[in-house]
Amino acid sequence: MSEKYIIAIDQGTTSCRALIIDHGGAIQTIAQQEFTQIFPSPGWVEHDPEEISEVQQRMVKNAMSQAGISSSQVEAIGITNQRETTVVWNKNTGKPLYNAIVWQDKRTADICEEIKEKGWADKITGKTGLFVDSYFSATKVMWILRNVPGARALADQGQLAMGTIDTWLIWKLTGGNQHITDYSNASRTMLYNIHDLEWDEEILNFLQIPRSMLPAVKPSSFDFGHYEVDGVKIPIRGVAGDQQAALFGQQCLEPGMAKNTYGTGCFMLMQTGEEAAISRNGLLTTIAWGLDGKVYYALEGSVFIAGAAVQWLRDGLQLFQTAGESESLASRAKPDHGVYMVPAFAGMGAPYWDMYSRGAIFGLTRDTTKAEITQATLDSLAYQTRDILTSMESDSGIGLDQLNVDGGATANNYLMQFQADILGVPVIRPKVTETTAMGAAYLAGLHTGFWNKDEIARIREIDREFVPVMTDEERKERYRGWQNAVKRTLGWLKD
Ligand code: ADP
C-alpha cells in the first residue's frame, strides 16, 4: 500500500499555500502563490474570492504533483485561514456579490460608532468576547447589505450566504454542497454567542443580518465534506482560524499553555480550557477549537509593534542591514546600561490602551551606542509580551509554565533568552516553525485516525529551550524600569 499524506491548506492574507505532510509529521513539499491585494480607496482592503479559490485549488494540485502523489494517497485536508475576512455570495448562483472585505479594512468604522452610540458595545462584548470593531466580520456583512444594489432584498428572501474564508473555500471545494464553519472562525464574526454556542438572535436582529445567511458551526475536527480531485473524494476534516491553528500546532492542549508569534507584531493566545475567561485588561475572549465533543477557549492579545521596531532600526535609523544583525549588535551592549525603548509608534495596546502615547528612548548617557539602543529595542518585544501574558494570567487565574514561540523574530537567540529571563519561565522554540499549517493538519488527521494525540506529541520536536537564568530581583527591577518608561509615554500627544 502506498503511503498516505495530509494536505494543509494555509489560506493567508497575502498568499495561498498548500503543504503535504507525511505520517511522521515531515513537510514533503510546499506550494505557494501570492494573490492580488485590492485597495479601492484609503483604508479599504479587498480580495477577489474567485481568485483565492482558483489559486488555492491550483496550489493543492501543484503540491501533489511536486510531491509526486496522487489524490488517492491523500488521507484528508485540513484548512487554516486568514480570520474575519468576509465573503457574501448568492446561494443559487454561487457568485459573490462583492469582493471579500479583508480584516484590515476600516470602511465600517462609522457603522461601529453607530453600534456604540446605540449602547450595544458592552452587550456585544459580553456575548461574543470581542470589542465592537471593524476588524470583525459583522459590520463587513452589514456594509455589503447596505451598499451593494439588490443585496438587501436577496438577503431578506433567504438567497444569500456569508462566510469567513474557510467557509467560502469549503463551499467551492465541495461544489456548493456545504455551508459550514468551525467554532474558532465563528467566534471571530462578532455574531456568535461564544457562551451559548449559537448565532446570537438578538445581535442578528439588531444588526439586521438574516439568520439564513449564516453557516452551520461545527467542531474544528469534523466531517466538512469532500473535495473531488481526479475522481477521488478527498475528505476535508480539519478547520481553524490561523491563530487558533497555530495554538493547536504548538500543542497548547492544556489550560495555561500559550503561544506567541513574533512577526511584524506579536500574536499571543493562551488556552484557558472549557471556561471562557473574561478579560479585565482589554484582551479578547475567543474559541480556541472544538474537539472531542468539547469547546476550548482562549484569551488573545496582540502587540502592534514588535518586529516592526527592528525594521525601524534597520530602515529608519539604518543601524544595520539585516534584522538578523540585531542579535550580534545587542550582544555587544554594555551591561546594566539602563536604556529603555518604548516603541509606541501608534499608541500602546493591552493592557495600557492609550492611543495618545508615542515612542521614546529613555536612559541615554554620553556612552550610549547603537548596541544599547538595539538591545533595548529587542528587549521591548519581550517586555510587551510580558505585559500581555501577565494580563492573561490575571484574567484566567492560571499561571503560565512555559511559552511556545514561532515567527520570524524567534531566530534571534538573544531575544529568546531575554524573553525567558523576563518572564521567568522557559521559552520553547520548535524545530518545525510551520505551526499554523501543522495545527490544521493535526485537526484533520485526528479526525480520520491518521494520528492519535500521542503520535502528534511525538511529531513536535523542540529546536531549543531557553531557560531563565536571571535572578528574581533583577527581573523585578528591569520590569519596573519598563513600566516606568511606558508610564512616561502615556498621553504624550494630549499634553
Ligand atoms: P510577518 O509574518 O509579520 O511578515 P515574519 O514572521 O516573517 O513576520 O517575521 C518578520 C519580522 O521579524 C520582521 O519585522 C523582522 O524585523 C523581524 N525579524 C526577522 N528576523 C529577525 C531577527 N533575527 N531578529 C530580530 N527580528 C527579526
Residue 192: Cβ-neighbour burial (10 angstroms; 0-12, 13-18, 19+): buried
Work out which ligand 1 atom sits closest to the CA atom of 411.
23
* Residues 426 and 468 sit within 8 Å (Cβ to Cβ): yes
Question: Residue with the nearest Cα to atom 13 of ligand 1?
Answer: 307
In this predicted structure, the answer to whether residue 179 has a pLDDT above a threshold of 70 is: yes
In this predicted structure, the answer to whether residue 361 has a pLDDT above a threshold of 80 is: yes
Residue 350 pLDDT class (50, 70, 90 cuts)? confident
| Substitution site in 380, 412, 413 for ligand 1 pocket (most atoms within 8 Å of beta carbon) | 412
- Give the pLDDT of residue 70: 95
- Give the pLDDT of residue 495: 72
| Substitution site in 262, 331, 417 for ligand 1 pocket (most atoms within 8 Å of beta carbon) | 262
Supply 204's cell numbers.
Answer: 442578528
What is the percent of the chain with per-residue pLDDT over 70, rounded to a whole number? 100
Work out which ligand 1 atom sits closest to the CA atom of 265.
3
Q: How many CB atoms lie within 10 A of CB 318?
A: 9
Kindly state the average pLDDT of the residues 219-240: 97
Q: Could you tell me the distance, in angstroms and rounded to a whole number, from the CA of residue 59 to the centre of ligand 1?
A: 25
Residue 432 pLDDT class (50, 70, 90 cuts)? confident
Strands 258-262 and 403-406: parallel
What is the percent of the chain with per-residue pLDDT over 90, rounded to a whole number? 90
Range 302-495 has CATH code 3.30.565.10: no
Q: What tens digit of pLDDT does each residue of 183-216 get?
A: 999 999 999 999 999 999 999 999 999 999 999 9
In this predicted structure, the answer to whether residue 1 has a pLDDT above a threshold of 80 is: no
Parts of the chain belonging to CATH 3.30.420.40? 5-218, 302-495
Q: Return mean pLDDT, the chain.
A: 95
Question: Residue with the nearest Cα to atom 23 of ligand 1?
Answer: 324
Work out which ligand 1 atom sits closest to the CA atom of 307.
14
Instruction: Please state whether 295 falls in left (phi above 0), alpha (psi between -120 and 50) or beta.
Output: beta
Residue 460 pLDDT class (50, 70, 90 cuts)? confident
Work out which ligand 1 atom sits closest to the CA atom of 407.
6
Topology given in CATH for the domain delimited by 5-218: Nucleotidyltransferase; domain 5 (3.30.420)
In this predicted structure, the answer to whether residue 420 has a pLDDT above a threshold of 80 is: yes
Query: What's this model's pTM, rounded to 2 decimal places?
Result: 0.92
Kindly report whether the peptide bond that precedes residue 40 is cis, defined as omega within 30 degrees of 0: no
Q: What tens digit of pLDDT does each residue of 94-132 get?
A: 999 999 999 988 899 999 999 999 999 999 999 999 999
How far CA 429 is from CA of 202, 231, 270, 434, in Å, comes to 43, 41, 16, 12
Which residues sit with their C-beta closer than 6 Å to ligand 1? 263-264, 307-308, 310-311, 323-324, 326-327, 407-409, 411-412
Residue bearing the bigger pLDDT, 263 or 182: 182
